[in-house]
Copies of this chain bind each other. A is one copy, B any other.
């Protein structure tokens, strides 16, 4: 490990999001993976033997011979832990790691609604990271918990941010067409999705997340004297339908948007194309380049063709057009296990380091 590298760990390293963490952390310029943690069933085995690798890029060499450790604070010694844990487990376990002084960058939904927990997409609300100071004061721990949003909220919220800054967003109808990898592994049985779509995700909960999370991320960070620092939820109404479709990676969202200051599609496209991340989030190793790509073709973005735009970190928008009822309609695509999960958590960790909050 070079002296400048920060020791990190992955919790839930054998699952589908865990594998993305392992893959994206390969040769990371700042982070060095020192522990891969998983359930007791896998602990003690070599990562290459305990993992049913499902990515189409090969397992990185560094990980193959690492011996999996239990996901507890005795076994995992790192400065940052990336959590790909299931929600039920994450809730309690992430607290323990924070108490033990580690920075938890979590992909689980457990703590997203915490009043002092940043729900972060650095390219749009990098300032929210300062909530960790409040969190540390409130909780009395030296670690912290940072969260990234639901994979379906991710791309949609980034596109909305650009529009909100320019025109003010008041209401959003959104319908998702979500990829299979969002359900983890083994996830969706093939007999359920071949020649089929499922008009609900996880049989509940997903729509509520996508109706609430963007409001926190688009909300205003209000810095006050303790304990008054908080996020004021954005005053935007959301109506969301979620669907599962037979696509491996890449969530598509069809959105209709009401604006405070109506704009025509050309103006909106220009705003989306010109959108730049806050200064602190621009030049990090995982910064999307560009943040938003706008496609001109009448039938793009498409998940298979566009999900790897900007190495899977870019939000791709297309079909920006007038909405016959509200103001604008468009389509958003985001890679759900890269920008919407593992890549997002890593980007959050990079921002934490950049802001000297580690």
Q: Which residues of A contact B (CB under 8 A)?
A: 16, 53-58, 171, 173, 175, 177, 180-181, 185-200, 203-204, 211, 237-239, 241, 243, 245-248, 252, 254, 256, 298-305, 307-309, 318-319, 323-326, 329, 331
Contacts and interface: CB of A to CB of B under 8 A. Distances in A.
Contacts of A211: 324
Given A239-B329, A246-B190, A196 B303 contact: yes
Given A189-B186, A241-B254, A248-B195, A319 B180 contact: no
B252 A239 contact: no
Nearest to A171: B325
Contact of A56 (B54, B307, B329): B307
Given A177-B197, A187-B191, A190-B194, 16 more contacts: A58-B309, A185-B191, A186-B186, A186-B189, A190-B246, A195-B248, A195-B304, A196-B304, A196-B305, A203-B298, A239-B256, A239-B324, A239-B325, A241-B254, A243-B254, A245-B245
Contacts of A190: 180, 187-190, 192-194, 246
Closest 9 CB pairs of A and B: A186-B189, A175-B175, A196-B304, A241-B254, A190-B190, A239-B325, A199-B331, A200-B299, A203-B298
A90 to B, nearest CB: 22
8 contacts: A56-B307, A186-B186, A188-B190, A195-B246, A197-B303, A199-B300, A200-B299, A203-B298
**Which of A173, A181, A203, A331 has the most C-beta atoms of chain B within 10 angstroms of its own C-beta?**
A173
Contacts of A173: 173, 239, 256, 325
Contact of A191 (B54, B303, B325): B54
Contacts of A247: 195-197
Nearest to A242: B254
B195 A319 contact: no
B191 A248 contact: yes
B171 A302 contact: no
Nearest to A304: B196
A305 B54 contact: yes
A319 B189 contact: no
Nearest to A54: B191
Nearest to A254: B241
A251 to B, nearest CB: 10
Contacts of A252: 197, 199, 243
A16 B191 contact: yes
B197 A254 contact: no
A121 to B, nearest CB: 22
Given A189-B189, A191-B185, A302 B54 contact: no
Contacts of A198: 299, 302
A177 B245 contact: yes
B191 A189 contact: no
Contacts of A175: 175, 241, 254
A311 to B, nearest CB: 11
Given A199-B318, A200-B299, A319-B199, A194 B246 contact: yes
A195 B303 contact: yes
Contacts of A326: 239
Contacts of A238: 324-325
A239 to B, nearest CB: 4
